[in-house]
Chain A
Amino acid sequence: MRAMIVKEFLQLRRDRRTLAMMIVLPIMLLVIFGYAASFDVSRISAVVVGAQAKNFSQRLKAPFSLVGTYPGQGAAAARRDLRDGKADVAFVTGGGSTLVFINGADLFSARAAETAVARLSAPGADMPRLQAELKKVLPPGAEIKLVAPVPPRVKILYNPGLKTTLVMVPGIAGVILVFVGTLIASLGVVRERQAGTLEQLAVMPLSPWDVLIGKIAPYFAVAAIDLALVLAVGMWLFGVPMRGSWVLLILGALLFLFVTLSIGVLISSVSQNQGQAMQLAMLTVLPQILLSGLIFPLSSMAAGVRWISYLLPLTYFVQISRGEMLLGQPLRDLWQPFLYLAVLGLVAVTFAILRFHRLLNPSQGLGAPRRVQSAEARP
């Protein structure tokens, strides 16, 4: 038994990446869950429109955070602001009771907004008690009639039942693309390395682009079928709506898939074996699931952790898929996630191509020569 333990320790000591993973992963999970994993929404962005907008907005208190007061605008503008992601809540004042629109696509903000709006109208419910208190302090015969404010009418848009599935399915489609794209594609090159066929590829008349695109294409096709299945099941089984443009959703999905596949292939090209590739892939997949806004709202994350979210491709795909399926956002509202996805894709594919050049070009590269060194050139 002692021999076995010593052997395992020796092997573990040589496998530095596994060792690093064993140390980094718990710290990473602790940081993520400590700072990011929060369902509490402390800030609800709000716009106020209508004739009484100025008056109303002065009375708004935390957790509402006023992002705009537009007395000259009406309900249509309020709806637009919600769809465009400018605010979580819109108050439409004037003409009797206030109308409150809540964006149901952001589940936790919507639930927090519902509670906060109910609290706003609470003084009305307390009216008989206040009347009795006043009667005690006023001289006999004097009478003050308190007029209860009319409770606001609340309307939840885009996800009226605040159903979790409607919000999750568009994001889950992204998670599936991450799994196929990053986890499975990460095994592609490393399999060649382990089978000893990478050296063969290096002398074949294939360019790094040929190899990269050749590696990506099958996964791309399988992931595209996966995406179609997930969306079809989501729509038919769970009733997820499609309010926006199919073209934008498909474009976003293809762009996102390209990014995740490039990351997968990049991971594969820097890994020495399949175990390392899977570990590295998990290191990129886990933060994406936890920090992309898929589960925990970005607005609830500590600022120190939130910047990580902005480096993760899934963050932008979640915005695009929810934006198209639930909100029906036009391109003008989604150009930023599209742009950031394109930038991430460019960075990932550039690194992947550079790695492929190093692996496949006749040089003091990392593929064949390293093997030579171990097999042939040991002093």
Chain B
Amino acid sequence: MSWGVQGVEVHFGKVTALRDVDLALPPGEVRVVVGGDGAGKTTLLQVVAGSLRPQSGEAAKPPAARIGYLPASSGIYPDLTVGENLDFAAAAYGVSGQPARERRRLLLTRAGLDGVERRLGGELSGGMRQKLGVIRAMLHRPELLVLDEPTTGVDPISRRGLWWLIAHAAAEGSAVLVATTYLDEAERAAELLLLDRGRVLASGRADEVVRGMPGRLFAGDGAPAAEDARRAWRRGRRWRLWCPDGDADVGSAWQAASPDLQDAVTVALLQEGLDDGEGGVA
């Protein structure tokens, strides 16, 4: 069965956190929601996980006992040990017996936490805490696994370990939704959803999002002219210039460039800003 949301709207007073958002979460797949600060990622995940009821729209989700959720704060008790944190989750979700003990051991090993079972949650490094949060969320083999920025602030090695766990959960049949600010993580997901100020700017497979980018993209070594500044941004040592009109003449200093997901996302955000009469992203 596929979980997800349809036509979801969430408002906090006058602030719109989500506007008409659709998202399907089929079992065995990892879907990623990307967006900057204040995009509405956490709000969407809370609606999907069931901790927030939207003002309109529908959310299809399994019962609470079959949902695994990692909040942005990791949800780890700092004054309980690694083992006690897992014991609490196991008891709350009614997981017990020999198979459960074996799963717990397996997850601890795969997360690289098997040697720190007696360490307090508050004494763990950021990466370890996030990994503990992820294995706590997937301990009971949830049908729906919702992870809010599990890799934010985590070193590259730990990020790799976390993604191994996430892929493992999907391989076990869980529908997985991950919020992230890292586009390389979005590229490895089956599909992504790009949010900005509660609105969906783009969705689909990463290559579809790239192919769907409007206009043309150019790369150059020099800074853009003042009138082009709102459509230009730096990438590494070079500049990117986006032209909504595919036939525009940008001069010989600019060469046509093949966009990747980062370019496509930047263009989507840029286009949104230009439509709203705001400045560029450089």
Contacts and interface: CB of A to CB of B under 8 A. Distances in A.
B242 interface: no
Nearest to A364: B53
Interface in A192-209: 195-197, 199-200, 202-206
A362 B39 contact: no
Nearest to B94: A205
B67 A203 contact: yes
B63 A205 contact: yes
B15 interface: yes
Contact of A205 (B55, B65, B73, B75): B65
Contacts of A364: 12, 52-53, 55
Interface in B33-56: 37-43, 46, 49-53, 55
B169 to A, nearest CB: 16
A159 B152 CA distance: 68
Contacts of B89: 204
A247 interface: no
B151 interface: no
A372 B75 contact: no
Nearest to A199: B71
A287 B43 CA distance: 42
Nearest to A360: B51
Contacts of B17: 372-373, 376-377
Interface size class of B (residues with CB under 8 A): 35 or more
Contacts of B38: 375-379
Interface in B188-227: 197-198
B72 interface: yes
Contacts of A203: 49-51, 64, 67, 69
Interface string A338-379: 000000000000000000000000111000110011011111
B93 interface: yes
B266 interface: no
B74 A362 contact: no
B244 interface: no
B239 interface: no
Given A205-B64, A205-B65, A379-B15, A369 B93 contact: no
Contact of A368 (B15, B46, B55): B46
B77 interface: yes
A376 B43 contact: yes
B279 interface: no
B78 interface: yes
B53 A368 contact: no
B93 A204 contact: yes
B76 A372 contact: no
B92 A376 contact: no
Interface residues of A, number: 22
A200 B53 contact: no
B75 A377 contact: no
A377 B40 contact: yes
Contacts of B13: 373
A144 B225 CA distance: 129
B139 to A, nearest CB: 12
Residue of B49, B72, B75, B89 with most partner-chain A CB within 10 A: B75
Contacts of B43: 372, 376-377
Given A196-B75, A199-B73, A204-B93, A372 B52 contact: yes
A206 B40 CA distance: 27
Residue of B15, B40, B71, B89 with most partner-chain A CB within 10 A: B71
A199 B67 CA distance: 13
A219 B129 CA distance: 28
Contacts of B42: 372, 375-376
A206 B52 CA distance: 16
Interface in A241-292: none
A376 B51 contact: no
Interface in A105-135: none
A61 B28 CA distance: 90
B12 A368 contact: no
A369 B52 contact: yes
Contacts of B50: 203, 362
A196 B92 contact: no
B92 A206 contact: yes
Interface of A: 195-197, 199-200, 202-206, 362-364, 368-369, 372-373, 375-379
Given A203-B50, A204-B92, A379-B197, 5 more contacts: A197-B77, A206-B92, A373-B15, A375-B42, A376-B42
The 4 nearest A-B residue pairs measured at CB: A196-B73, A200-B75, A377-B17, A205-B65
21 contacts: A195-B78, A196-B71, A196-B75, A197-B75, A197-B77, A199-B73, A200-B69, A203-B67, A204-B89, A204-B92, A205-B92, A362-B52, A368-B51, A372-B17, A372-B52, A373-B13, A373-B17, A376-B42, A379-B15, A379-B38, A379-B197
